[in-house]
Amino acid sequence: MAHGKKGFVYLIGAGPGDPGLMTIKGRDCLEKADVVLYDYLANDQLLRMAPPGAELIYSGKIGGEHNREQHQINQLMVAKALEGNVVARLKGGDPFVFGRGGEECEALVAAGVPFEVVPGITAGIGATSYAGIPLTHRGVTTSVAFVTGHESPGKLSSEIDWEGLSLGSGTIVFYMGIRNLPQIAENLMAHGRSPQTPVALIRWGTRPEQQVLTGTLSDIAEKAQAVGFKAPAVTVVGEVVQLRDTLRWFDNRPLFGRSVLVTRGADQAGEFAVRLERLGARVLSCPTIEIVPPTDYRELDEAITALDSFHWVVFTSYNAVKYFFDRLHALGRDTRALGGCQVCAVGPKTAAALAPYGIKADLVPADYKAEGVVTAFGELDLSGKWVLFPRGDRAREVIPEELTRMGAQVLTPVAYCNVTPPELPQEALAALEAHRVDCVTFTSSSTVQNLAAILGENRFLRLLEGVTVGSIGPITSKTCRELGLEVHVEPAQYTLDALTEELVKYMNR
C-alpha cells in the first residue's frame, strides 16, 4: 500500500448529486481506493470511478433509517485502514458541512490513521445554484447562514439563535429540515421574520429528479404537506428566492425530468447521452449491441492488400471506418493505400469519422441510408468499376445488389460484427419494470431486434407500452413496426442531432 501498513483514509466530498460536480482531486483519490465507504447521498455513478475489485460498502439509509450508526461507520473505517487499505470515505456534499466529517477525523486521529480531507460542493451551494437562487445578490443581501434543521427532538432548548437569524436580513439555508419545517417557519416568524418572506424547498438538488417548491414562511409548510414534499432537501429563506423566476436555468430545460433509454452500443452512446443530458434528460444507458472484430480477417485482408485495384470504397457507419482503418494499420499500411480510390460516406457523421485519417469523402448522399447511396451512384457510370464495401455482419444487401446491377464488381468483406449482450444493465431493466422510462431511442434495426431478443417479444411489448419511441430513420422504424411498436418520432434527416431535435418537439407538445 502506498501509505504504509496503517493504510490511509480520504474523506471525499462527493458533491450534492450531479456527478460532474465531483472535484478532480476527489476523483483522483477515489481511483486509488481499495475500499469505498459511501452514503446514500453520493451518486452511484461515482462508484464507477473506483478501481475494479475495490470493496464497496454502503453505509447510508435503508427505508429512511440509518444502515449503520455513526460510531459503527467510524469503527469500520478505522478497521479497514488498519488492515493496510486505502479507504475512500465518500460523503454527499462536503465532509465538514453537516457531514459529520469532523467526528470521523477524530476517530482516525485517535487510532493513529493518517487521512486527508477533500472538500466537496455542499448542497446549500450546489442545489441553490441549480435552482436559480443566488445566495447573495447586490441590492438584496450580502450575507448567508447555513443552519441545521434537524435538531434532536429530545433537546430541552434549541441551540439555534432564532432571534439573530430572524432579525438579520441575510439568506438562511436549512439542511435536513423538511420534517421540522412547520417549527422552523413558526420560530422565524415568532422572532420577527415577516410571514411574507419567500421560501424555496429544493429536493434532490442538481439531479435530473430535482424538485423545487416555493412559497412564503406563512404557507410553505402547508404547501409541502399538500404535495407530499419529502427529504432529502434544503430550505432556502430570504428575498433571493424571488430571483428564481428570472435566473432559473436547470429545471426548465426542454427534456428536464424525462427518462430516456439509449440503446446504442456502449462505445457510441456517450455523445448522444451528453446531448440529451444537456437538455435535462435523465439518460439510462441500455446498450443492446456490442461491436466486436470479425472472427476471420481473410476477406478483409485480401481486399486491403488489393486496394490499388479498387475505384471506390463505401463506408456506411462509424464502425465500418474504425474497424477498416484499424485493420489497415495492423497490416502495416496507412491512408496512402487509398490514394487511387474515391470514397463514399453514407452521411455527414460517417464523413466526419473519416476526417482524422486525412480522408475527405468524394460522395455524401443527400439521403443518409443505403438507398441514398444507391441513388447517388445511379448518376455515375459504374460499368467495370471495382467497389469495396467493408461492412457489418448484419448489413442489408441493398448496396451490393444494386451496385452490381449497375455493372460494378462489389466486394463485401466483414469488417466488424454485431453481438447481442446476454442481459440489460440492472438500472435500465429496473426503470422499465417500474414504468419510469418516458422515451426509448433506436438508432438501427439491430438495436430494436436485440432489445426484443433479450427481453422476449411479449415482455418487450409490455415494458414499452406507453413509452415514446424515437427512431433514427425509416428502416429502423420499419423494424419497430414489424415487432409491434408504434413509432412516435422519426426525423427527416437520419442523424442524432435531428432525432434529438424531434424528440424535444414531440415531448413538449
Active site residue 497: no
CATH class of domain segment(s) 125-247: alpha beta
Q: Which of 288, 277, 284 is nearest to 428 (CA)?
A: 284
Active site residue 393: no
Candidate list 61, 230, 349, 478, residue with the active-site label = 61
The structural architecture, per CATH, of the domain 297-418 is 3-Layer(aba) Sandwich (3.40)
Once rounded to an integer, what is the mean pLDDT over residues 216-245?
Answer: 96
Between CA 33 and CA 54 the distance in angstroms is 7
What confidence score (pLDDT) does residue 154 get? Answer: 54
Active site residue 161: no
**Position 1 confidence tier, pLDDT thresholds 50, 70, 90:** very low
The single residue listed with the C-alpha cell 474515391 is 342
Answer yes or no: is pLDDT of 362 > 50: yes
Once rounded to an integer, what is the mean pLDDT over residues 217-224?
Answer: 97
Are domains 8-121 and 125-247 of this chain identical in fold?
A: no
Candidate list 176, 189, 223, 367, residue with the active-site label = 176
What confidence score (pLDDT) does residue 2 get? Answer: 46
Candidate list 18, 34, 39, 438, residue with the active-site label = 39
For a pLDDT cut of 90, what percent of the chain falls above it? 82
Between CA 63 and CA 42 the distance in angstroms is 16
Q: Which of 187, 192, 197 is nearest to 217 (CA)?
A: 197
Grid coordinates representing 325 are 482503418
Query: Cβ distance 50 to 103 under 8 Å?
Result: no
CA 269 to chain centre: 10
End-to-end CA distance of the chain: 57
Q: What is the DSSP string of 462-503?
A: HHTTT-EEEESSHHHHHHHHHTTPPP-B--SS-SHHHHHHHH
What confidence score (pLDDT) does residue 66 get? Answer: 61
Q: Which of 469, 270, 472 is nearest to 368 (CA)?
A: 472
Query: Cβ distance 365 to 314 under 8 Å?
Result: no
Indicate the DSSP class of residue 167: H
Task: Please name every residue paired with 172 in a beta bridge, in sequence order, or none if there are none.
Answer: 145, 237
What confidence score (pLDDT) does residue 88 get? Answer: 97
What are the angstrom distances between the C-alpha of 51 and each of 35, 47, 83, 181, 501?
Answer: 9, 9, 18, 41, 37
CATH class of domain segment(s) 8-121: alpha beta
**Position 155 confidence tier, pLDDT thresholds 50, 70, 90:** low
Between CA 206 and CA 21 the distance in angstroms is 9
Task: Please name every residue paired with 419 in a beta bridge, in sequence order, or none if there are none.
Answer: 290
What confidence score (pLDDT) does residue 59 get? Answer: 87
The single residue listed with the C-alpha cell 450546489 is 126
- Topology of domain 259-289+421-507 in CATH is Rossmann fold (3.40.50)
CA 186 to chain centre: 40
Cα-only R_g, the chain: 29
Answer yes or no: is pLDDT of 4 > 90: no
What confidence score (pLDDT) does residue 39 get? Answer: 87
- Taking all residues of the chain, what is their mean pLDDT, rounded to a whole number? 92
What confidence score (pLDDT) does residue 3 get? Answer: 47
For a pLDDT cut of 70, what percent of the chain falls above it? 95
Task: Kindly report, residue by residue over 393-420, the tens digit of the pLDDT.
Answer: 988 899 999 999 999 999 999 999 988 9
Q: Where are the alpha helices (DSSP H) in 172-297?
A: 181-190, 220-227, 244-247, 269-278
Once rounded to an integer, what is the mean pLDDT over residues 296-302?
Answer: 95
Q: Which residue has the higher pLDDT, 85 or 270?
A: 85
Task: Kindly report, residue by residue over 303-335, the tens digit of the pLDDT.
Answer: 999 999 999 999 999 999 999 999 999 999 999
What confidence score (pLDDT) does residue 248 get? Answer: 97
What confidence score (pLDDT) does residue 267 get? Answer: 62
Answer yes or no: is pLDDT of 157 > 80: no
Domain ranges in the chain are 8-121, 125-247, 259-289+421-507, 297-418
* Cis amide bond preceding 134, omega within 30: no
**Position 156 confidence tier, pLDDT thresholds 50, 70, 90:** low
Task: Kindly report, residue by residue over 101-111, the tens digit of the pLDDT.
Answer: 999 999 999 99
